[in-house]
């Protein structure tokens, strides 16, 4: 397993990437924004103010993988990669508005909170079904090469997805056609409640790559520097025509699978505590202090800043009206057919009578 950054913040000098101070600051700020958004999202769901939340705590280091890409490259997320969108410039207010499905929700209330896309930053709208984004990503990479575009694709998925039909189809296609793809499996140890050892016979998830003729790399998924190194090399290989790379990022989902899950039924508190000691944000923070990029006080202020910012965004988002139910008929046809016009009139009549 590739590791650059140890738990205490010390590094393997031979593997330390050359990254500017400003870039490292951006990584930290993005990860803190994501962690704070996660904390607020869970509280909002428990308060009954939003209907659903997908936690990301413990998996914030994926931000470093996206940092290895060019702006023209496309990201195909699963559903714990909000940090990729934030890093690329998706405003936090857009994500909060999507939580509330209000009139400023760019998804128009059609997606579960946390499932969103942003074409402005080439962040593809994810699907809840497991593994479907893998075939989308390798197909898009193939299309980009066919059009002679300098574009590669990066796709995220969990270890549970490696047992899916779409994983097999996508990996087969990527291996046969040597598509310019980076495939990152976020092995967070559980496919909902199923531990990794019960959903695959493979000794390591990364071993699956070899059977498809794809280069495989395993990294510490809580080490931003290791993830960056692996993703950077994979992106350069893909861009130069050397084919796809499969990266197993060994990490841990500290919270529930979703707000509808009770992880205490299938794992111990001791296990969660052990992984909490490997927290990716704390590790990066130690590294930044050792490099004298941030002081402890400055790190604390970043957490406070995002806490205050998100409180204000949540207050504003909650005050906005919900998206109109009439929008269920829009964005389907260029010209609405008669039967939908009729249904829309009926819906409006119903709304007038019942409010």
- Residues annotated as catalytic are 253, 257, 266
Q: What angle do CA 175, 187, 257 make, to 5 degrees?
A: 125
What's the Cα-to-Cα distance from 342 to each of 50, 233, 339, 345, rounded to whole Å?
A: 32, 56, 5, 5
On whether the CB atoms of residues 109 and 322 are closer than 8 A, the answer is yes
Angstrom distance (rounded) from CA 188 to CA 205: 11
Identify the CA nearest to 289 among candidates 302, 278, 276, 277: 302
Residue corresponding to tokens 């593809």:
124
First to last CA, the chain: 59
Provide the edge-to-edge strand list for the sheet that holds 215-220.
Answer: 74-76, 153-158, 181-187, 245-250, 215-220
Angstrom distance (rounded) from CA 55 to CA 26: 21
Angstrom distance (rounded) from CA 301 to CA 175: 46
On the 0-12 / 13-18 / 19+ scale of CB atoms within 10 A, 197 is: exposed
112 Cβ contact list (under 8 Å, min separation 6): 51, 52, 54, 128
- Strand segments, DSSP code E, in the chain are 74-76, 153-158, 181-187, 190-191, 194-195, 215-220, 245-250
On whether the CB atoms of residues 124 and 159 are closer than 8 A, the answer is no
């Amino acid at each position: 397993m590739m590791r650059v950054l140890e738990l205490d913040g010390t590094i393997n000098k031979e593997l330390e990437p050359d990254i500017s101070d400003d870039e490292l600051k951006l990584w930290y700020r993005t990860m803190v924004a994501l962690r704070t958004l996660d904390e607020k999202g869970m509280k909002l769901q428990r308060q009954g103010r939003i209907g659903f939340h997908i936690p990301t705590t413990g998996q914030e280091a994926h931000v470093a993988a996206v940092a290895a890409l060019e702006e023209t490259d496309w990201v195909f997320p699963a559903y714990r990669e909000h940090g990729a969108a934030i890093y690329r410039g998706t405003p936090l207010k857009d994500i909060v508005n999507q939580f509330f499905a209000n009139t400023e929700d760019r998804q128009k209330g059609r997606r579960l909170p946390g499932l969103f896309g942003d074409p402005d930053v080439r962040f593809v709208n994810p699907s809840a079904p497991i593994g479907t984004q893998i075939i989308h990503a390798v197909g898009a990479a193939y299309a980009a090469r066919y059009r002679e575009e300098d574009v590669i694709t990066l796709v995220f998925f969990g270890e549970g997805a490696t047992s899916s039909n779409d994983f097999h189809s996508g990996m087969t296609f990527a291996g046969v056609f040597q598509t310019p793809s980076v495939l990152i499996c976020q092995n967070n140890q559980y496919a909902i409640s199923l531990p990794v050892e019960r959903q695959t016979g493979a000794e390591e998830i990364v071993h699956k790559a070899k059977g498809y003729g794809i280069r495989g790399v395993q990294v510490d998924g809580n080490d931003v520097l290791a993830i960056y190194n692996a993703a950077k090399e994979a992106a350069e290989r893909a861009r130069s025509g050397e084919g796809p790379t499969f990266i197993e990022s060994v990490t841990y989902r500290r919270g529930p699978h979703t707000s509808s899950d009770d992880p205490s039924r299938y794992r111990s508190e001791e296990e969660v505590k052990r992984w909490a000691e490997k927290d990716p944000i704390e590790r990066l923070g130690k590294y930044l202090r050792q490099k004298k990029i941030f002081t402890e006080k400055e790190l604390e202020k970043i957490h406070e800043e995002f806490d205050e910012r998100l409180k204000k965004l949540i207050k504003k988002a909650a005050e906005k009206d919900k998206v109109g139910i009439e929008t269920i008929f829009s964005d389907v046809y260029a010209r609405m057919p008669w039967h939908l016009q009729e249904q829309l009139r009926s819906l409006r009549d119903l709304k007038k009578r019942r409010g």
